[in-house]
Structure 1
């Protein structure tokens, strides 16, 4: 009886979700076995729906449909897409993040074990009416960093400028028309990128700029990543100057992110211009001058240790007051989590947040206009047999996906 009730409820959501498609996209309607989540298979002569085991089949993020978005299926419309960027030749310590996309997908298998309903956020992103797909990985060469960075930018941009599936862009229906937040006045799908080392954020921000112009950034990391190339890496060549510790410096130099002033010298947040935030910072520095570079790049800082004094509520408040109601890009380095909870990363730093604390903070971003996001620096070779890091990365993205599913990416016309 319970099974029949659940199936009926999901079938009802199927009718609602399918009705969200554009009239001129009938051929792109979500298939029945996409929205009947997680019950996906029937067999000839079998009147019951059979559950597809979470440990079987091709591994996509949360067992989402695999769409070859960059090759065979270039006309496919979607609202949110997962895409991998298997790049790790910009690292300064431990390599291996090129296997991050595969590891994160493996860690995400159980996200829909019980149906995918996010209890604290009161939403099931997989049954929200949005078309969510896994586009596989961007083809990235391991031999030429300059070319690889261009591949990542072009691959992301190709997806970002696709037609969205839902009538209101990539948003849940609110019953009111929304004005797009993009600088070009168009609705754009949201892309969640699976890294890869943190260097990939420079080409991703270049892609985001093509749709949104300068953007605020929420950055969770144990490191600043705004170092000048002469300080971090020594810049022996123009290409070596772009790495996972300098990409925000270059993003600021290129005018991709909104600039502001440091926390120490800033007036009250309520009177400030919008800019960007670091969270979970706890690294050592080459010296106090590193903070000057960080200020010039437009970031305010939240030290990891602040959680001991202001708690998750205080951290959430700081973030929300900084980025406001404008479009924001979210970048999450898995090393923002303490290595006790997520050891498989390229540059681990002790004294970080727990997985629970980071997930709480991410849920506190509910209502912010997150236009796209990434998670980076997952290097599965250093994980435990229990796959702690890849599961943590997948769960973190589940919170991000849930926030996206709840929050319309637009403003109500006045």
Structure 2
């Protein structure tokens, strides 16, 4: 049985619309022109969901429109990923689950809503590829993932630490999710790292607090000096085969590559560097991921949305490859048992 068939127990996943028959600019803008979740019986190996929420931002709003901007940009994605030598939508059933509707006026309620919706989707056996939205949503997503896997490893791609305590006395904002996650015991503190951080801080105490929580730091300057292969190797060693969650704030990229975001910082990674680091994590056990902080109102010629769509595509490919490998291993084990 081929790995494609093994991934779905003998049936082929339903893939994207054929762009040789339907122009890319026509039809509904699901992620990568994939089927909706209800079109595949409400079950998928990877569910792509949007969270149109930006009430947790501390500077420029607009990320509530990020998910749909990423979907529009993803019309240009194609079904074969040569960088990973994989056809992700043939290896696993990937479907667009639409948006999680959250209260824009009550952050606490919004966090609860995202967690409940993620619980429901993960309960079907799916992994989540979430399109934000601001970074506040990472906390409820991590809560839900940890219910299934226990404390998870985290790779956090961002210009900022997002481990601050409060803003204006508020505990749940886009700058606090990972401090809350450490406090709640839902992260594996032996396997945490920021990637792409840079720029001024409130004080050296920010770094001291961050280190006490267990985070390693790979700055954007580290990526430039050491190169993507060395960085990816370091991250793989830190993570091992632990269940891994990857959270990508698009402002990890330099504003030249991602102008459409709420809190841009000079000196960031290129989109090529980000994609290559992600591709270098193919051996990791990626259980879910998010791409957040895309604010299309500040995006020139969809530069940010295109980068975000390709980032989500690489993450989806990583998950699809892992799923296919696990299902193929189960089929092989079942056959070996039957022979005995």
Q: In the alignment, does 2:292 pair up with 1:376? A: yes
| Partner of residue 36 from structure 2, selected from 66, 69, 72 | 66
Cα deviation, 1:159-203, whole Å, max 9, x if unaligned, reads: 0011xxxxxxxxxxxxxxxxxxxxxxxxx3211000000000010
Cα distance in 2 between the residues matched to 1:377 and 1:228:
20
Counterparts in 2 of 1:20 and 1:93: CA distance versus 1, 3 Å: closer
| Partner of residue 208 from structure 1, selected from 124, 145, 170 | 145
CA RMSD of aligned residues (A): 2.3
Q: Which has the higher contact order (CA 8 A, sep 6+)?
A: 2
Q: State how many pairs are aligned.
A: 329
Answer 1 or 2: which has greater helix percent.
2
Counterparts in 2 of 1:204 and 1:118: CA distance versus 1, 3 Å: same
**Residue equivalent to 2:313:** 398
| Partner of residue 126 from structure 1, selected from 86, 89, 104 | 89
Question: Which ranges in structure 1 are unaligned for 5 or more consecutive residues?
Answer: 1-12, 24-28, 41-49, 163-187, 260-273
Cα distance in 1 between the residues matched to 2:310 and 2:276:
11
Q: In the alignment, does 2:122 pair up with 1:192? A: no
Cα distance in 2 between the residues matched to 1:214 and 1:296:
17
| Partner of residue 276 from structure 1, selected from 176, 182, 192 | 192
Equivalent pair of 2:37/2:96 in contact (CA under 8 Å): yes
Cα distance in 2 between the residues matched to 1:308 and 1:79:
35
Shift of residue 401, structure 1, vs aligned partner: 1.4
Q: In the alignment, does 2:185 pair up with 1:255? A: yes
**TM-score normalized with structure 2 length:** 0.91
**Residue equivalent to 1:364:** 280
Question: Which ranges in structure 2 are unaligned for 5 or more consecutive residues?
Answer: 334-340
Cα distance in 2 between the residues matched to 1:213 and 1:19:
27
Shift of residue 234, structure 1, vs aligned partner: 3.6
Counterparts in 2 of 1:363 and 1:18: CA distance versus 1, 3 Å: closer
**Residue equivalent to 1:153:** 115
**Residue equivalent to 1:136:** 98
Cα deviation, 1:205-249, whole Å, max 9, x if unaligned, reads: 1101110111110110000001122xxx141xxxx2210111111
Q: In the alignment, does 2:234 pair up with 1:318? A: yes
Q: How do residues 59-138 of structure 1 correspond to structure 2 at under 5 angstroms?
A: 59-68=29-38, 76-112=42-78, 116-128=79-91, 130-138=92-100
Shift of residue 294, structure 1, vs aligned partner: 0.6
**TM-score normalized with structure 1 length:** 0.75
Counterparts in 2 of 1:308 and 1:77: CA distance versus 1, 3 Å: closer
Shift of residue 297, structure 1, vs aligned partner: 2.0
**Residue equivalent to 2:161:** 224
| Partner of residue 39 from structure 1, selected from 15, 18, 34 | 18
Cα distance in 2 between the residues matched to 1:364 and 1:30:
27
Equivalent pair of 1:191/1:373 in contact (CA under 8 Å): yes
Equivalent pair of 1:367/1:406 in contact (CA under 8 Å): no
Cα deviation, 1:137-173, whole Å, max 9, x if unaligned, reads: 00111121111111111111100011xxxxxxxxxxx
Question: Helix, strand or coil: the match of 1:199?
Answer: helix
Cα distance in 2 between the residues matched to 1:192 and 1:406:
14
Cα distance in 2 between the residues matched to 1:320 and 1:19:
27
| Partner of residue 249 from structure 2, selected from 319, 329, 333 | 333
Cα distance in 1 between the residues matched to 2:35 and 2:303:
25
Equivalent pair of 1:68/1:136 in contact (CA under 8 Å): no
Question: Helix, strand or coil: the match of 2:290?
Answer: strand
